[in-house]
């Protein structure tokens, strides 16, 4: 059962080939057998089996949809009523959310089954899933390497078939980068398409939830449920949600693909570049036209991001003060001691680093020099994307400079870690949609191809990804030991 895609399993459930209860128990057993990956923080067998039983009733009554009875897992950044939501941090290690995030509620209404909550970098701050208070997640393709971050638990679980699909969040590449390193499909939607209500904030103008799946068709099914206006989220965009599966089979003849020269220069591993060239050649066979383009401001994305994102995180994380909820230090002598020790003991090293960077950038005398300038650069980057996407239909390039690196390899070098997101960060600054799809292997490790589209063009991106997956098999490969 674990070798099948979401749509295949959905059709099996509707045909009564097996029940959701049987399917759910099968996946719960797999999670128990493969704990070495550390992909789950919390497994919820009682809840999952109860939801599966209810799903079977809906299937019997003919009131189901494509997600009814499907075992999924939620990144532990989405609030779940009655289930601990930790955000990968000691600060929230015992936080029981009093409500469901809108994304969680939508999956519940669709009849999906939640297997549990997935491991992640603390407060989504990291590119390797090594900053989690609950320990590093292992990449199923090589357990000595990282799965990427911050949605590394989601990517590892889907890659190892410990869930049919999973949710992730992407602030600077945190869906696409782990998807690439673990050989799955990951989509970061246009900013505002998916509600952020109940999704614990890192950087509010950059965060966006999205699907992590085996295939583009599965991602279309998940996004259909996740997308849509939410009056509880002031950044939610009120536009009609298209049928994302309806256009998957459109021809790519005449498609214009832009290749930014800034994506294929120094820093990109030559074997990764060769793998991507082969993938792009497949698109040429499908009738696409390849056009070289330039986006000169992309080189400014990393410094701009690491001013804007920490500035927003320093504001968002000020709510964790040891007073209302979350970790509280023992026996504080006064309010200052309560704040200082609760945050000092509750936050990890990387979170503290980013809070300090953000507070500095927003401080008197530095706001204009750093934060305001970074916002101006952000506008220039957005204009680069607008100009490029006025001449091409989609932009393609790498997701990461290389394949998955070793656990611990970059933990003592924050700059090297930050540079692992060099090809993804600009997309978040611009707010456009992008996705990573499996495109091959280098020395046995997965490589992802990044597709970038215009605002609210997710249906077109999914079509472009799906057509590639009809003529390649990279998305069907399973890591050794998890077959």
Question: Residue 75 catalytic?
Answer: yes
DSSP 115: E
Question: Residue 19 catalytic?
Answer: no
Alpha carbons 397 and 189: distance in angstroms, whole number: 17
- Among candidate residues 19, 39, 64, 150, the one labeled active-site is 150
Own/partner pairs for 30-34, CB < 8 Å, 24+ apart?
Answer: 30/2, 30/161, 30/162, 31/115, 31/116, 31/162, 34/160, 34/162, 34/482
Q: Nearest 5 degrees, angle CA 18-CA 24-CA 26?
A: 80
350-450-457-212 Cα dihedral, nearest 10 degrees:
-60
Closest to 46 (Cα-Cα) out of 82, 88, 92? 82
Tokens of 241: 């949600």
Beta bridge partners of 78: 199
Question: Residue 150 catalytic?
Answer: yes
Residue 139 backbone phi and psi in degrees, to 5: -80, 125
The torsion region of residue 186 among left (phi > 0), alpha (psi -120 to 50) and beta comes to: beta
Closest to 461 (Cα-Cα) out of 306, 250, 263, 276? 250
- Among candidate residues 20, 39, 75, 410, the one labeled active-site is 75
- Among candidate residues 174, 236, 314, 457, the one labeled active-site is 174
Q: Which residues are catalytic?
A: 75, 150, 174
């Amino acid at each position: 059962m674990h070798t099948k895609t979401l749509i295949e399993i959905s059709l099996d459930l509707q045909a009564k080939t097996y029940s959701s209860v049987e399917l759910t128990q099968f996946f719960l057993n797999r999670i128990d057998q493969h704990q070495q990956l550390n992909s789950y923080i919390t497994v919820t067998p009682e809840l999952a089996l109860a939801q599966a039983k209810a799903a079977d009733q809906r299937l019997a009554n003919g009131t189901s949809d494509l997600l009814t009875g499907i075992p999924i897992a939620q990144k532990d950044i989405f609030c779940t009523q009655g289930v601990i939501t930790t955000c990968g941090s000691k600060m929230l290690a015992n936080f029981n959310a009093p409500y469901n995030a809108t994304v969680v509620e939508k999956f519940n209404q669709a009849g999906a089954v939640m297997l549990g909550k997935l491991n992640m970098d603390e407060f989504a701050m990291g590119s390797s899933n090594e900053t989690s208070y609950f320990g590093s997640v292992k990449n199923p393709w090589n357990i000595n390497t990282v799965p990427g971050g911050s949605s590394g638990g989601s990517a590892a679980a889907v890659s190892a078939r410990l869930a049919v699909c999973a949710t992730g969040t992407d602030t600077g590449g945190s869906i696409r980068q782990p998807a690439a390193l673990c050989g799955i499909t990951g989509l970061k939607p246009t900013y505002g398409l998916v509600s952020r209500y109940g999704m614990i904030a890192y950087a509010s103008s950059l965060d966006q939830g999205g699907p992590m799946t085996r295939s583009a068709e599965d991602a279309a099914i998940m996004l259909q449920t996740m997308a849509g206006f939410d009056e509880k989220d002031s950044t939610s965009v009120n536009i009609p949600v298209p049928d994302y599966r309806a256009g998957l089979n459109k021809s790519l003849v005449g498609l214009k693909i832009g290749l930014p020269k800034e994506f294929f220069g120094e820093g990109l591993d030559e074997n990764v570049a060769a793998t991507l060239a082969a993938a792009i050649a497949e698109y040429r066979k499908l009738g696409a036209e390849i056009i070289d383009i330039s986006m000169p401001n992309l080189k400014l994305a990393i410094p701009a991001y690491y001013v804007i994102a920490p500035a927003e995180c320093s504001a968002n994380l000020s709510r964790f003060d040891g007073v209302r909820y979350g970790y509280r230090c023992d026996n504080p002598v006064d309010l200052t001691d309560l704040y200082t020790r609760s945050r000092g003991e509750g936050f990890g090293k990387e979170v503290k680093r980013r809070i300090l960077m953000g507070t500095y950038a927003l401080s008197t005398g530095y706001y204009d020099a750093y934060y305001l300038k970074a916002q101006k650069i952000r506008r220039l980057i957005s204009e680069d994307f607008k100009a490029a996407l006025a001449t091409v239909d989609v932009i393609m390039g790498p997701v990461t400079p290389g394949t998955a690196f070793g656990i611990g390899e970059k933990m003592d070098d924050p700059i090297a870690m930050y540079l692992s997101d060099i090809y993804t960060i600009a997309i978040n600054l611009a707010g456009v949609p992008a996705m990573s799809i499996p495109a091959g292997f280098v020395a046995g490790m997965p490589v992802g191809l990044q597709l970038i589209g215009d605002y609210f063009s997710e249906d077109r991106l999914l079509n472009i990804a799906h057509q590639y997956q009809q003529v390649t098999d990279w998305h069907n490969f399973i890591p050794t030991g998890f077959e």
